[in-house]
Amino acid sequence: MKTPGDTGFAFPDWAYKPESSPGSRQIQLWHFILELLRKEEYQDVIAWQGDYGEFVIKDPDEVARLWGARKCKPQMNYDKLSRALRYYYNKRILHKTKGKRFTYKFNFNKLVLVNYPFIDMGSAGSGVPQSAPPVPSGMARGSVSDCSDGTSVTSELEEAGGGGGEERGGGGGERAFRSLLHPRLSHDSLFRVYGPPPSRPGPPHGPPQSHRAHPENLSPFPVSPLPGPGGLLGPTLSPALSMTPSSHLAYTPSPSLSPMLGSHFSFNPEDMKRYLQAHTQSVYNYHLSPRAFLHYPNIVIPQPQRPSANAAESKPPLAPPSHAHAHAHAHSHAHLPLHHAHPHGPPGGPPEEPRLSPFQFKLQPPPPGRKQRDGPLGSSSSSVASGSAHHNSSSGSLSHSGGTPKIKVEPISDVESEEEVEVTDISEEDEGDVFAPPHHINGFGLALVNQPHHPPQAADDGIVADEDLDEDVFKTPAAPPTTTTTITSSASGPSGGLALLGLKSEPREVGLGPASPGGTRCIPLKLRFKRRWSEDQRLEAGSDEADDKSRAAPEEDDAAAAGRDEQPGGERDMGAFRRAENGERCSPPSPLVLPPAPAQRRVSSELQRATAQLSLENNGC
DNA sequence: CCCGGAAGGT
DNA sequence: ACCTTCCGGG
């Protein structure tokens, strides 16, 4: 298969780097796409379709026009826009779904937003049913504390599901969890679950095509773009992420959203803590690699535990009971289906005001898989394919070597292959400063998550040897361990900074206690990481991109989806661009935002929020 | 259509 | 960095 090299695994930096501070940067195309995807108004123009993260541009000219409007480039057209999209291939943000016209797919596999868990990819509307992640308190417990290391996510999950949920009484919810947690099922289940969107309730415009969708749902992997006989999936759903079902679960979207929206940021340590907690949990829950923490190296995250206090009521989400179907809830590990969603379908709904989103992602290119031409001279291309290599070690975070000519390597077929992770940056950051500037935190990033699927040892598929993978992984940068260590050790005072939570958290906090039995529990951290990583890799490898055809193995992808829309009204062409709205987008120094978030939201919710945040509504050229 | 190189802009 | 423009090739 692919070379080991590709192990990659990790998430690309770009995914992670928040960058842009609130006001600053310009909107990026992928953000914009995501934004459009999340709004129902644009369903006829661009919509999720098929696979997770896959979307189709139904009206290329319109999309181009919108983009051009946003960027004030009237000359924009699909040809140009598509060129820009192609650049994303290299960055791995997107890839093309071969065989389908105007169809692309976000490469969010396993990506989760980490830094700011607020993404909202969900549907737009108001409440996306799925949006909320359950994460009841129980989850929380599970998540982090399970084992001493935080790493043992897996077990946690299991536990949660099986054991103890407090929630059980809730009825269906429990089930859902289980599935979620179930290691094996997890992926499959995940996928299948949401298939049926409740069919958009009130599709304002939407054509009801969705019905057929189901057949596919079952299959974990929709697999290729072609859904097979049937064809497409529900149009509105966003494949990208699955949200949790949650209707029953009580998760509350918590106010967090609001905060962001409101634009108030707070700097309090408390808030920070919460935020961090949330983050942590997310990480744990989703099995993020430790790197996820890198962003805040010095911070220690408090343990997630406090469940719910707030959660309870803040947003009434959704959930019309009725439609929610059983399937729907299932899992969520990573994906949420989003879109469609409005519970009530408020097409006309009152437009909420638009908010701006302060944050944006910044991307960075991961691996250079590409080549660039050497020089003008033309050494005619040597195509060396060598490949292997990649950077070596250390740290240098940046490649200082200026001169090295790059070889053009063809990316091995695709995406998957390379991902090298650049650890470097991490290290940089970690080590770099202890005190991270506060704003550092701003921004959210994406991180890869592992899905829990299999228990550590079992490699069902037999895809790859774990060890090998591990090695690769580790080899890359050695950071992980280090990181871990660092984190752990650093516990610091709250004052200026928060302390990072050690990976290991104590169980007691959560209250979970010993309940967990998992087998893994006591594995050393390192091992765990390794395992986890291995798994990840394995998954990734498998999954990859073959979207077209190859993928048989299930994986999970997540994608982003859209989230709540903020203004339904007609923004469509006209108004939107022109109106000045608050114009706040530029908030300057924003410190950080701290959402009170309940900590445990799942990815989906995270994504949702983030998206929301992204709201790129800028206008005004 | 789709792919990417190249040059240029911000 | 991230496109935007242009363009030859498949």
Q: Which nucleotide is nearest to A363 (CA to C1')?
A: C1
Q: What number is the average pLDDT over the span A241-252?
A: 29
Q: CB–CB of A193/A327 below 8 Å?
A: yes
Q: Which nucleotide is nearest to A398 (CA to C1')?
A: C1
Q: Which nucleotide is nearest to A26 (CA to C1')?
A: C2
The C1' atom of B6 and the CA atom of A382 lie apart, in whole Å, by 18
CA A33, A38, A41, A45 torsion-angle sign: positive
pLDDT band (50, 70, 90) for residue A107? confident
Task: Give percent of chain A with pLDDT exceeding 70.
Answer: 13
Is the distance between the Cβ of A371 and the closest atom of strand B smaller than 7 Å? yes
Q: Which nucleotide is nearest to A73 (CA to C1')?
A: C4
The C1' atom of B10 and the CA atom of A45 lie apart, in whole Å, by 29
| The pLDDT value given to residue A264 | 27
Q: Mean pLDDT score of chain A, rounded to an integer?
A: 41
Q: CB–CB of A329/A248 below 8 Å?
A: yes
What does pTM read for this prediction? 0.41
Q: Is the pLDDT of residue A420 over 60?
A: no
User: Which single residue is written with the structure tokens 């950051």?
Assistant: A429
Q: Is the pLDDT of residue A512 over 90?
A: no
The angle, 0 to 180 degrees and rounded to 10, between the axes of the packed helices A424-432 and A479-489 is: 20
pLDDT band (50, 70, 90) for residue A89? very high
Residue A472 corresponds to which tokens in the numbers above? 């690769």
Range scoring the smallest mean pLDDT among A50-59, A201-210, A264-273, A392-401: A201-210
Q: Which of A334, A284, A251, A56 is nearest to A153 (CA)?
A: A284
Phi, psi (deg, nearest 5) at residue A43: -60, -30
Is the distance between the Cβ of A83 and the closest atom of strand B smaller than 7 Å? yes
The C1' atom of B1 and the CA atom of A86 lie apart, in whole Å, by 13
The C1' atom of B9 and the CA atom of A579 lie apart, in whole Å, by 27
Is the distance between the Cβ of A82 and the closest atom of strand B smaller than 7 Å? yes
Is the distance between the Cβ of A400 and the closest atom of strand B smaller than 7 Å? no
Protein contacts on strand B: list nucleotides below 7 Å from a Cβ: 1-7
- Between A238 and A600, residue with greater pLDDT: A238
Q: In whole angstroms, give the CA distance from residue A257 to residue A595.
A: 7
Residue A401: CB atoms within 10 A of its CB come to 9
Q: Which nucleotide is nearest to A74 (CA to C1')?
A: C4
Q: What number is the average pLDDT over the span A483-497?
A: 30
Residue with CA nearest C5 C1'?
A80
The C1' atom of B9 and the CA atom of A79 lie apart, in whole Å, by 18
Q: Which nucleotide is nearest to A27 (CA to C1')?
A: C2
pLDDT band (50, 70, 90) for residue A619? low
| The pLDDT value given to residue A51 | 83
Q: How many residues does chain A have?
A: 621
Residue with CA nearest C2 C1'?
A28
Pairing of strands A111-113, A446-448: antiparallel
The C1' atom of B2 and the CA atom of A10 lie apart, in whole Å, by 29
Protein contacts on strand C: list nucleotides below 7 Å from a Cβ: 1-7
Q: CB–CB of A289/A426 below 8 Å?
A: no
Residue A530 corresponds to which tokens in the numbers above? 């390794």
Is the distance between the Cβ of A102 and the closest atom of strand B smaller than 7 Å? yes
Is the distance between the Cβ of A103 and the closest atom of strand B smaller than 7 Å? yes
